[in-house]
Amino acid sequence: MMQRIREKSILQAQERAKEATEAKAAAKREDQKYALSVMMKIEEEERKKIEDMKENERIKATKELEAWKEYQRKAEEQKKIQKEEKLCQKEKQIKEERKQLKCKTSTRNSASRNLAPKGRNSENIFTEKLKEDSIPAPRSVGSIKINFTPRVFPTALRESQVAEEEEWLHKQAEARRAMNTDIPELCDLKEEEKNPEWLKDKGNKLFATENYLAAINAYNLAIRLNNKMPLLYLNRAACHLKLKNLHKAIEDSSKVWISIYDIWCFKYILLLIGL
């Protein structure tokens, strides 16, 4: 009997505990549902607030744009009115000038008629005055082209010694021709194509068009004609660098450095001798 009562009380306690847990879970779910609804309401209010702010800003910007357009329109109308007023004033001024001119011409004509018996001298006087009063047309714009005489030397022609310069150029041409006889590739070339400066310019143009092999050939021929120009080695090194010939680029760069160093040493020796 006691055992049944104990089991019954245990079952009742379990039922009460189960009901309590279920009630607690239901209360928790209600709380979560309420919190979720509150959060959604807050988010909806925030979203509505942001939308209202955007709408207010849009309305404000639209009003400002409309006001600016209206200001521009009024400014254009004001400019147009001012321009029309200026045109009207100019037209009035032109009409007044024409009236004055007509009055002057009429008075002169009447005076010339009155003085007609005296001879043609009076007529000439009035015509000369009319010519003096007439305004001449503006001069036409022109341009003057000046072609300077091409010179090898950078000095002005008035400051140079032409005879000595011609002699030096003649000697340079003779030395170039004597050097050209040793190079068989120059037999078929023109006289200007045997000039290292011309070949250097040609190589520069070929380098600009990315024809690096042809530029190297031009620099090679120029170096064979004159191996004392460091710029030829430097340009050829740039071509080798574009073609990824790094060893040849280093070799030409080294030659440039050596030649510049030799020139610097020579100038230093001349300076010491002068001292």
Mean pLDDT of the chain: 77
Least confident of 93-102, 215-224, 263-272: 263-272
**Range ranked top by mean pLDDT from 120-124, 173-177, 190-194, 219-223:** 219-223
Could you tell me the two tokens for 51?
């939308």
Asked whether residue 31 carries a pLDDT value surpassing 70, the answer given is yes
Q: How far is CA 63 from the centre of its chain?
A: 38
Q: Could you count the other beta carbons within 10 Å of the beta carbon of residue 68?
A: 10
Instruction: Confirm if 249 and 240 have CB atoms less than 8 A apart.
Output: yes
CA 93 vs CA 90, 97, 126, 135: distances in Å:
5, 6, 25, 17
Give pLDDT, residue 122: 46
Confidence of residue 118 (pLDDT cuts 50, 70, 90): very low
Reported as type and span, the H/E element at residue 44 is helix 2-114
Bigger pLDDT: 57 vs 174: 57
Residue with tokens 């020579």: 266
Give pLDDT, residue 50: 92
Confidence of residue 123 (pLDDT cuts 50, 70, 90): very low
DSSP assignment letter at 244: T
**Among 110, 104, 139, which Cα is nearest to 122's?**
110
Q: How far apart are CA 90 and CA 106, in angstroms?
A: 24
Backbone angles phi and psi of 188, in degrees to 5: -90, 5
Q: How far apart are CA 274 and CA 97, in angstroms?
A: 82
Please write down the HEC assignment for all residues of 91-103. Answer: HHHHHHHHHHHHH
Give me the percent of the chain exceeding a pLDDT of 90.
8
**Among 198, 201, 194, which Cα is nearest to 178's?**
194
DSSP string over 179-221: HHTT-GGGTTS-SGGG-HHHHHHHHHHHHHTT-HHHHHHHHHH
Protein fold of 168-274: 1.25.40
Bigger pLDDT: 147 vs 199: 199
Tens digit of pLDDT for each residue in 66-91? 999 999 999 999 999 998 888 888 88
